[in-house]
Structure 1
């Protein structure tokens, strides 16, 4: 049996996951990363992308728009700004996420980071809905 770690994913709207996972793939702000049991303690910000957890129940994918991930040797806790299971994502919901991000971009103090997040969301829309 593969080693596991506790994976928890929450957004302001709801708790989306609490499972024993063998790996969690995270869209980190500085690049994609995979957390597994025994990972060095790390905290990273999230960029818009697909977060995946692999467990005995299979692979679950979530669209995240940002937030933070805290990784330890025994667990991954993700606090997402917005998170939606990929199988619940609709074109209308993706458009709403992009509209929300566009509003945030307009008032952001770090325009480069905001523009990058917006570009990530547009690329994510293309990847999810063609």
Structure 2
């Protein structure tokens, strides 16, 4: 059996998960990342995407995150999300409101660099929307 470690998924609204897990797959900004027990200390930013958690007690949970950062230590991982919801709570209205808000942010962006970063986020969010809620 794989070693377990403590994982916490926190958003400003609530603590979504605090449990012993064997593996967490996170959408790091530079690419998908799998965290396991005894992982090297790392901090990374998170892009919009799916977090997949394998519980030590058995089973898997999935959460949609909308950015944030992760603090990874050999003994645990804390993901501080800008916003996060369990996959089963995701609906079309949630994505439509986030996409509309991001489009407004792009229009109001003070610099080209900021606009480019927001456009990348919009692309990632649109892709995530299509992969979770096809059609």
1:69-93 Cα offsets, whole Å, 9 max, x none, are 0001011101100101001101111
C-alpha distance in 2, partners of 1:78/1:111? Answer: 26
Work out whether 1:113 is the aligned partner of 2:124.
Answer: no
**Please, what TM-score do these two structures have when normalized by structure 1?**
0.94
Give the Å deviation of 1:106: 3.3
Moved over 4 A (4+): none
**Long gaps (5+) in structure 1:** none
| Partner SS state of residue 126, structure 2 | helix
1:25-79 Cα offsets, whole Å, 9 max, x none, are 0100011100000100000000111011111241111111100000010111011
C-alpha distance in 2, partners of 1:43/1:73? Answer: 12
State the aligned residue count: 130
C-alpha distance in 1, partners of 2:79/2:62? Answer: 13
Q: Residues 1-130 of structure 1: matches in 2 within 5 Å?
A: 1-55=1-55, 56-108=57-109, 109=111, 110-130=114-134
Give the Å deviation of 1:97: 2.1
User: Superposition RMSD on alpha carbons, in Å?
Assistant: 1.3
Instruction: State the structure with more CA Rg.
Output: 2
